[in-house]
C-alpha cells in the first residue's frame, strides 16, 4: 500500500467532499453523534472525525474560544500575542509586542526582560507545582529516574553553578552532544539559566557533523556522555566528541575550554587533563540555588542546526521571549495540557520537537514530561505500549515513521496493553498517510482520542498548522493554521492556487517563536526564506488546500529529504559521497520508502582511472562501501537505499545537475507541475 506522500508531488490523499464545517460552535458539536469505531463506519463518515462530546467538554480551549481567537488575532495580532505573553512571568514588561523595523529579522517583546527557565522552573517552586513530578526518565534497560519540579530545579542549579565555575557566561555557546538522558535536560536548562546559548547536536550525528556545527557555533564547553544504550548495545559518544574537536582548526579547538562528561555507560573513557571533567565531579559540592540571569527578550536562548539546500547546516537562533510565548501558547492550546497529564513526546531533546515539547513546553505548563533513552522497539515491539501503560501516559506525541513501524509489527502488540489512560494522540515531522492515521486512531486511541497532525519546522520554533482537540479532523490533513498564524498555498508568483492545486506553503505574518535568523549568516536567512515573496516566509514545503480550506502537506519543494522525519539535504549527502576517492560526481534524490517515508538513492559517476566495475571491482561491494562511507560521514540518519553507477548525469544548460530528471526516471512518472517551483526555488 502506498504510504506517506513523498516529497515530489504524489500520494496526497484526495480531498474529502464534505460541507465546510471547521470551528463549529460547541452546542452543535455536542449534538453530533460519534460514529467511529470500524473502518467501514469511518468511510461512511467520509473520513471526517467530529470531536467526542467529552473531549469538547473537558477542553481548555473550546470551539467558541477558537473562533474568538481567530477573529481577535486577525483584527489585532499584537493584542492576541500580548495576551498570550501575559500568561507568563516577566522581569520587565515589553515596550512593543512586535518590532518588524528590521525585517526579516523580527524582534518580539522588545524592551522586556525575562528568562525562559524562570517560567519553566523557578516560578513553580513558589507554588503547589514544586512537589509535582516534572520528569520521568526511562533507560533502555528499564532503569528509571524521576524528578519533581523541586528536584529538577536543584539539579539544574547545581549544574548552572558548575558551568559558571568553568567560566561559562552570558552569550557563550554550550554544545550538548547527548542521547536522551536527564542530564541532557539539566544541561539545556542550566545553560539557559545562566544566559548561555545551548546548541544540542543529535547523538546519532557523526564526528564530521559535530565538527561542522562546532566550527560555526564556537562553543566554550561541550557536554557529552561516555556512552549510551541503544538497541541493546552500548554506543560510545565521548570518543566521537574528541575526534570532532581534534579535527577543528587549532584556535577553535583551543576555544573549547572544557568537556563535561556524564558517566552513563561505565566505559573506559580517555579524559584530557585540564580540559575534560566528569559531570558528577563538576556538580559535586555545588549549591542547589543559582541566580537566574536576567535576559533581554531578544537575547538568544539556543542555536539549532538544520539541513537546507546547501551543504552546510544552518544554525537557527531562537530567543528567550518570543520562543517562550509561542511554545507556551501552543503547548496549552494544541495539547490541551493540564497539570495532571503525563505527556510523552517521543522526540529526542536534541531536535526542535524535543526542545519545544519535551523540555520547555511541558515544564512551562507545569505538567509531567516523559523521556526515553533507547530504541522504541527494544527489547520487543510492545515497548512503547508497555511504557504508556506503566507510566499512565495521557498524551502521546510522536512521528509518522514510528507509527508506521509499530503498525507493521501489528495491532496485537497494542492490544496486549491497557492504553485507557491515553486521551490525545499527535504526530509531527512528515506527512502521515490516512492509512497510518486511521490505524493510530483505531488501535491506539480506540476511537476515543483525537489524532492531531501538527506541522512546523525548526525555523518556526512552535506548532503552526494543526488541529486542536476540538477540531474536525480529516486523516492526513494538518487542518488549518492556529489562531494568530496566517498561511496560504501559492504559485511561483505568490498567487493563491485555490482548492485542489499544489503550491508553496507560505506564512504571511510573523509569529513569536520564529527564528531570529541564521547564526553568522544573515544573508542566507534572507535569501532562503524571505526573498522569494517579500514580506512572507517561504517554508520550502509543497501543500494543497481542499474545499474546506484544510491544508494537506505533501513534502519538500527543495532538495531536502525527510528520512524517517529527519531533515537532510541532498547537498550534504552528495558532499559526503564526493569525499570518497572513487567518486567523480554524484547526485542524490529521495525515493519513497514504506517505513521511513523517504530514503536516498545515489547516482554516481566514478573517477576516470577507476578500475571498470565487474572486472576487478564488484559493483555491489563498492555500492555498500559508499553507503557505509556516507553513514560514517553523516551518521545513521543518512540512509541510502541504492547506489547506481552511471557514465554521466543529466545537466541543464548552466551545468546544474537536474535531479528532477533523475527522479522522473526513477519514479516512472512526470514530476511536471512541480518542476517550475523546484527550478525556481533551489
Ligand atoms: C520539515 C521540518 C518541527 C517538527 C519536526 C521536523 C516536515 C513537519 C510535518 C507534518 C508533513 C511535516 C516539513 C517541514 N514536516 N511536520 N505534520 N506534515 N510534513 O522539524 O527538521 O525542522 O523539519 O518537516 O517538510 O518543512 P524539521
Helix/strand/coil for 454: coil
pTM: 0.88
Q: How is residue 600 annotated by DSSP?
A: E
Q: How far apart are the C-alpha atoms of 610 and 98, rounded to whole Å?
A: 59
SS (H, E, C) 331-361: HHHHCCCCCCCEEEECCCCCCHHHHHHHHHH
Q: Using one digit for the tens of pLDDT, what is the confidence trace for 148-188? A: 999 999 999 999 999 999 999 999 999 999 999 999 999 99
Q: Ligand 1 centroid to 429 CA: how many Å?
A: 4
Give yes or no for residue 168 CB within 6 A of ligand 1: no
Q: How far apart are the C-alpha atoms of 134 and 147, rounded to whole Å?
A: 6
Q: Report residue 667's pLDDT band, with 50, 70 and 90 as the boundaries.
A: confident
> ipTM exceeding 0.90?
yes
Whether pLDDT at 341 is above 70: yes
Q: How far apart are the C-alpha atoms of 560 and 644, rounded to whole Å?
A: 20
Q: Ligand 1 centroid to 188 CA: how many Å?
A: 23
Give yes or no for residue 453 CB within 6 A of ligand 1: yes
Give yes or no for residue 572 CB within 6 A of ligand 1: no
Helix, strand, coil percentages (3-state) for the chain, rounded to 5, are 35, 25, 45
Give yes or no for residue 345 CB within 6 A of ligand 1: no
Residue 268: exposed, middle, or buried by beta-carbon count in 10 A (0-12, 13-18, 19+)? exposed
Q: How far apart are the C-alpha atoms of 207 and 472, rounded to whole Å?
A: 45
Q: Using one digit for the tens of pLDDT, what is the confidence trace for 349-382? A: 999 999 999 999 999 999 999 999 999 999 999 9
Closest Cα to atom 6 of ligand 1: 429
Give yes or no for residue 590 CB within 6 A of ligand 1: no
pLDDT of res. 32? 27
Q: Report residue 557's pLDDT band, with 50, 70 and 90 as the boundaries.
A: confident
Closest Cα to atom 3 of ligand 1: 457
| Mean pLDDT score across all residues of the chain | 90
Beta strands in 529-623 (DSSP E): 537-545, 551-556, 560-563, 566-569, 583-593, 597-606
Quick one: average pLDDT of 594-607? 94
Quick one: average pLDDT of 468-473? 96
Give yes or no for residue 353 CB within 6 A of ligand 1: yes
Residue 45 CA neighbour count, 13 Å, CB half: 21
Atom nearest to 356 CA in ligand 1: 3
Q: Which positions ≥6 away from 195 have C-beta within 8 Å?
A: 115, 169, 170, 171, 293, 295, 299
Amino acid at each position: 500500500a502506498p504510504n506517506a506522500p513523498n516529497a515530489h508531488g504524489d500520494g496526497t490523499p484526495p480531498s474529502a467532499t464534505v460541507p465546510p464545517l471547521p470551528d463549529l460552535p460547541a452546542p452543535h458539536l455536542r449534538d453530533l453523534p460519534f460514529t467511529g469505531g470500524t473502518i467501514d463506519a469511518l468511510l461512511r463518515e467520509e473520513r471526517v472525525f467530529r470531536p467526542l462530546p467529552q473531549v469538547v467538554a473537558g477542553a481548555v480551549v473550546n470551539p467558541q474560544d477558537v473562533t474568538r481567537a481567530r477573529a481577535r488575532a486577525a483584527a489585532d495580532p499584537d493584542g492576541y500575542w500580548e495576551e498570550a505573553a501575559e500568561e507568563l512571568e516577566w522581569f520587565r514588561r515589553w515596550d512593543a509586542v512586535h518590532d518588524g523595523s528590521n525585517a526579516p529579522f523580527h524582534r518580539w517583546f522588545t524592551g522586556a526582560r525575562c528568562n525562559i527557565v524562570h517560567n519553566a522552573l523557578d516560578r513553580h517552586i513558589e507554588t503547589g507545582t514544586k512537589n509535582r513530578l516534572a520528569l520521568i526518565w526511562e533507560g533502555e534497560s528499564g532503569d528509571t529516574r524521576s524528578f519533581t519540579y523541586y528536584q529538577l530545579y536543584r539539579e539544574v542549579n547545581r549544574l548552572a553553578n558548575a558551568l559558571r565555575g568553568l567560566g561559562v557566561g552570558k552569550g557563550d555557546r554550550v554544545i550538548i552532544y547527548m542521547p536522551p538522558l536527564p542530564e541532557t535536560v539539566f544541561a539545556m536548562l542550566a545553560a539557559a539559566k545562566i544566559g548561555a546559548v545551548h546548541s544540542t547536536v543529535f547523538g546519532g550525528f557523526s564526528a564530521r557533523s559535530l565538527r561542522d556545527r562546532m566550527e560555526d557555533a564556537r562553543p566554550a564547553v561541550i557536554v557529552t556522555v561516555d556512552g549510551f544504550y541503544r538497541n541493546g548495545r552500548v554506543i560510545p559518544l565521548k570518543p566521537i566528541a574528541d575526534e570532532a574537536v581534534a579535527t577543528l582548526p587549532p584556535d577553535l579547538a583551543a576555544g573549547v575550554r572544557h568537556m563535561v562528561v556524564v558517566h552513563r555507560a561505565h566505559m573506559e573513557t580517555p579524559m584530557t587533563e585540564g580540559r575534560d571533567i566528569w559531570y558528577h565531579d563538576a556538580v559535586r559540592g555545588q549549591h542547589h540555588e543559582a541566580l537566574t540571569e536576567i535576559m533581554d527578550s531578544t537575547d538568544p536562548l539556543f542555536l539549532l542546526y538544520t539541513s537546507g539546500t546547501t551543504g552546510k547546516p544552518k544554525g537557527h537562533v531562537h530567543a528567550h521571549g518570543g520562543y517562550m510565548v509561542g511554545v507556551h501558547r501552543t503547548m496549552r492550546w494544541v495539547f490541551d495540557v493540564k497539570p495532571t497529564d503525563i505527556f510523552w513526546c517521543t522526540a529526542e531533546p536534541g531536535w526542535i520537537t524535543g526542545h519545544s515539547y519535551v523540555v520547555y513546553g511541558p515544564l512551562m505548563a507545569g505538567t509531567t514530561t516523559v523521556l526515553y533513552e533507547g530504541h522504541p522497539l527494544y527489547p520487543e515491539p510492545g515497548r512503547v505500549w508497555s511504557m504508556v501503560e506503566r507510566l499512565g501516559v495521557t498524551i502521546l506525541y510522536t512521528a509518522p515513521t514510528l507509527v508506521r513501524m509499530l503498525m507493521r509489527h501489528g495491532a496485537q502488540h497494542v492490544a496486549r496493553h491497557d492504553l485507557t489512560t491515553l486521551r490525545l494522540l499527535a504526530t509531527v515531522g512528515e506527512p502521515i498517510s490516512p492509512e497510518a492515521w486511521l490505524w493510530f486512531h483505531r488501535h491506539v486511541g480506540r476511537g476515543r482520542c483525537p489524532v492531531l497532525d501538527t506541522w512546523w519546522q525548526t525555523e518556526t520554533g512552535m506548532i503552526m498548522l494543526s488541529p486542536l482537540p476540538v477540531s474536525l479532523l480529516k486523516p492526513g490533513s494538518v487542518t488549518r493554521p492556529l489562531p494568530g498564524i496566517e498561511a496560504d498555498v501559492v504559485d511561483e508568483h505568490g498567487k493563491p492556487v485555490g482548492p485542489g492545486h499544489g503550491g508553496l506553503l507560505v506564512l504571511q505574518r510573523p509569529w513569536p517563536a520564529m527564528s531570529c535568523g541564521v547564526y553568522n549568516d544573515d544573508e542566507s536567512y534572507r535569501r532562503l526564506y524571505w526573498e522569494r515573496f517579500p514580506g512572507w516566509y517561504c517554508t520550502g514545503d509543497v501543500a494543497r488546500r481542499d474545499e474546506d480550506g484544510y491544508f494537506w502537506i505533501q513534502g519538500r519543494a527543495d532538495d531536502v529529504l525527510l528520512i524517517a522525519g529527519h531533515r537532510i539535504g541532498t547537498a550534504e549527502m552528495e558532499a559526503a559521497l564526493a569525499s570518497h576517492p572513487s567518486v567523480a560526481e554524484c547526485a542524490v534524490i529521495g525515493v519513497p520508502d514504506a517505513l521511513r517515508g523517504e530514503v536516498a538513492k545515489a547516482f554516481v559517476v566514478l573517477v576516470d582511472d577507476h578500475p571498470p566495475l565487474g572486472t576487478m571491482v564488484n559493483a555491489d561491494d563498492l555500492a555498500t562501501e559508499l553507503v557505509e562511507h556516507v553513514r560514517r560521514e553523516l551518521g545513521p540518519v543518512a540512509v541510502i537505499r541504492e547506489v547506481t553507477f552511471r557514465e554521466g548525469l543529466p545537466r541543464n544548460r548552466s551545468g546544474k545537475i537536474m535531479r528532477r530528471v533523475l527522479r522522473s526516471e526513477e519514479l516512472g512518472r512526470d514530476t511536471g507541475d512541480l518542476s517550475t517551483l523546484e527550478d525556481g526555488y533551489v
